[in-house]
Amino acid sequence: MSLSKKIIDLSEKMRPVLVKVVPMKLLRYMKDKVQERELKRMQNRRRKPYEPGHYEPGINLIGCIRAEIGLGQSCRLLADELEHTGISYMIRDFLLDGKLRAEEHSWDHKIEEQPRYGINLLHIEPLDLIMAYMKEEPELWDYRYNIAFWLWELEEFPQDWMKSLDLVDEIWTPSEFTSSCIRKVTDKPVITIPYCVTAPTEPQYNRAYFKLPEDRFLFLVMYDTNSTMDRKNPVGALKAFCQAFSPEDQSVGLVLKMNNPRKEDLDVLKDQLKEYSNIYYITEVMDKVVVNSLIREADVFVSLHRAEGFGLVMAEAMLNGTPCIATDWSSNTEFMNSDVACMVDYTFTTLEKSSPPYEKGARWADANIDTAAAYMKKLKENPEYYRRLAENGKAYIEEKLGMEQAVRAIKQRIGEIEHDFT
């Protein structure tokens, strides 16, 4: 094991102590320097190129398959798509952050320790991919065709991530928005492989399970602090709710489902809603079946995001017949339009300071609060509009994001790779 690997391993083990005594900015600087040194070492060594026949045909899906966050759900969706292709595959569970809850075991039967196929499908974020190369032995990468599966929410690919491009042969993304962004910075193949969106249409848990009232029209807002509060913009949704309904209106309610909430974020939200008694906070970690039920039990799902790399929960809500109010920008517009969802206009804003991983000077969308509030009132007061949107949204997701489309895209691309190297 190289010195750099030993330093990284030790720093990960000591992370809880280090963050208390060393400034975060200095920790990032030290980590960057170690990564740069290791990258130079790897570039000097040179990964051995793909050699068909060196390993048996098939795909090694490598990623955080057990993690109970959006990244884990994305990895599980890829596994489901591979299962339906008929292509041989196995899964290598890979999780760098030991603090993340990883109790999702639905794919344990496919997990193996040693990858055995000729194609690696690396569902690992770019900076974590550098760490993976530092921690793993060369045999994992050599003579294999390495495909990264990445998500990104803005129009420009982060400068810090550029060095990760040298570690792979090809990139897949779930949206053309993200693919277009990455194509600006590389001549390697960048392929859009859409998610297959599946979710049970009948709830297995009712409102009573979530301690929610039966007699109120409920708007649901969800976000995970791992996705950053600034980007998900729950405050925008809260402002729209407060503008649409007075504190005295007890016919409605707002449900805030948060994963890993920080106290300071929660304080901001509660301060915004201090005059309202019809706000319901849910902070427990839930498995996907429970979350799907919560989405189905809500009357409306609201996402006034500033940017999305896909927008999976919006697609799942639509499939469940729950109408969506959403910002009309970024990846979600590939499966949403004004016939199937409430699309909120916006103005572009520039980040005045960095909000990692989003850099100062980047732009994203600020949803129009007036428009969102008007949609909230319309959905509550116009049953015919509500019904039409629910039906159209469900049908559109079934058409655009079904298993057939995803399987076709994967099989076509794998076939092209095999053809190009024979």
Question: b/e per residue, 312-331, with b = 16+ CB within 10 A?
Answer: bbbbbbbbbbbbbbbbbbbb
Specify the pTM: 0.89
- Write down the number of H helices and E strands in the chain: 14, 14
Nearest to 107 by CA among 77, 85, 86, 76: 76
User: For residues 169 and 95, what is the distance between their CA atoms, to the nearest angstrom?
Assistant: 22
Cα–Cα distances (Å) from 248 to 191, 243, 369, in that order, read: 51, 13, 20
Task: Assess whether pLDDT exceeds 90 at residue 227.
Answer: no
CA 306 – CA 329 distance, rounded (Å): 8
Give the distance, in angstroms, between the CA of residue 305 and the centroid of all CA atoms in the same chain.
13
* Mean local confidence (pLDDT), 311-336: 97
| Residue 259 reports pLDDT greater than 90 | no
Q: What is the mean pLDDT of the chain?
A: 90
Residue-level pLDDT at 38 = 66
What is the reported pLDDT for 399? Answer: 94
DSSP 337: -
Q: In CATH, what number does 217-401 get?
A: 3.40.50.2000
Sequence-separated (6 or more) residues with CB below 8 Å from residue 187: none
pLDDT number for residue 27: 58
DSSP letter (8 states) at residue 55: S
Share of the chain above pLDDT 70, in %: 87
Centroid of chain to Cα 410: 20
* Mean pLDDT, range 206-216, rounded to an integer: 97
User: Each residue of 123-134: pLDDT tens digit?
Assistant: 999 989 988 888
174 within 8 A of 151, measured Cβ to Cβ: yes
At 35 the pLDDT is 64
- Tell me: pLDDT of 83 over 90: yes
pLDDT of 41 reads 65
Q: Which residues contact 260 (CB under 8 A, 6 or more apart)?
A: 224, 225, 226
CA-CA distance, 153 to 172, in Å (whole number)?
14
Tokens linked to 7: 């330093």
Residues 304-319: what's their mean pLDDT?
97
- Residue 4: per-residue pLDDT: 56
CB distance 364 to 231 below 8 Å: yes
pLDDT at residue 151 above 80?
A: yes
Average pLDDT over residues 373-384: 99
Q: Is 262 exposed, middle or buried, given 0-12, 13-18 or 19+ CB atoms closer than 10 A?
A: exposed
* Beta partners for residue 90, in sequence order: 60
Work out the end-to-end distance of the chain between its first and last CA atoms, rounded to an integer number of angstroms.
Answer: 35
Give the pairing type, strands 89-93 and 117-123: unpaired
> How far from 246 is each of 276, 302, 320, 393, CA to CA, in Å?
8, 18, 29, 29
- Which range (76-80, 259-263, 399-403, 410-414) has the least confidence? 259-263
pLDDT at residue 30 tops 70: no
pLDDT for 2: 56
Q: Can you tell me which residue has the tokens 């159209």?
A: 392
Say what percent of the chain tops pLDDT 90.
72
Across residues 146-163, what is the average pLDDT?
95
Q: Please state, in angstroms and rounded to a whole number, the distance separating the CA atoms of residues 129 and 126.
A: 5
Distances (CA, A) of 392 to 76, 187, 216, 318, 335: 27, 38, 24, 9, 12
The tokens for 53 are 């026949």
**Tokens linked to 396:** 């559109």
Q: How high is the pLDDT of residue 26?
A: 65
CATH homologous superfamily for 47-196+404-420?
Glycogen Phosphorylase B; (3.40.50.2000)
Both structure tokens of 145: 């065709």
Query: Where are the domain boundaries for CATH 3.40.50.2000 in the chain?
Result: 47-196+404-420, 217-401
Residue of 139 and 43 predicted with greater confidence: 139
Asked if residue 313 lies in contact with residue 340, where contact means CB atoms within 8 angstroms, the answer is no
Q: 358: which DSSP letter?
A: B
Note the pLDDT of residue 20. Answer: 55
